[in-house]
């Protein structure tokens, strides 16, 4: 199961948590899991890789997390 598929299942099971913003206290940027999922889908559909460095980091954190849930 790839990241998108796994994350979709998680979002479906946890809709409230998926829409809760989490903020990086240093940069003050917020991310919801659903937004990141949508970015991953867009990346896959368009073939255009995510270039935003912080978003790429968050993607990495989520991929790392998905290995344990």
Contact positions vs other proteins (CB under 8 A): 14, 16-17, 20-28, 30, 33, 61-62, 64-66, 68-69
Is there a contact between 33 and 18 (Cβ–Cβ < 8 Å)? yes
Pair of tokens at residue 32:
């919801």
Q: Which is nearer to other proteins, 20 or 38 (CB)?
A: 20
Task: Write down the least CB distance from residue 38 to other proteins, Å.
Answer: 16
Instruction: State CA 47 to chain mean position distance.
Output: 17
DSSP three-state, residue 11: helix
Q: Which is nearer to other proteins, 21 or 42 (CB)?
A: 21
């Amino acid at each position: 199961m790839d990241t998108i598929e796994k994350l979709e299942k998680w979002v479906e099971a946890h809709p409230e948590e998926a829409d809760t913003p989490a903020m990086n206290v240093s940069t003050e940027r917020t991310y919801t899991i659903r937004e990141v999922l949508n970015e991953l889908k867009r990346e896959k559909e368009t073939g255009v890789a995510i270039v935003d460095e912080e978003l790429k980091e968050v993607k990495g954190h989520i991929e790392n997390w998905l290995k344990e849930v």
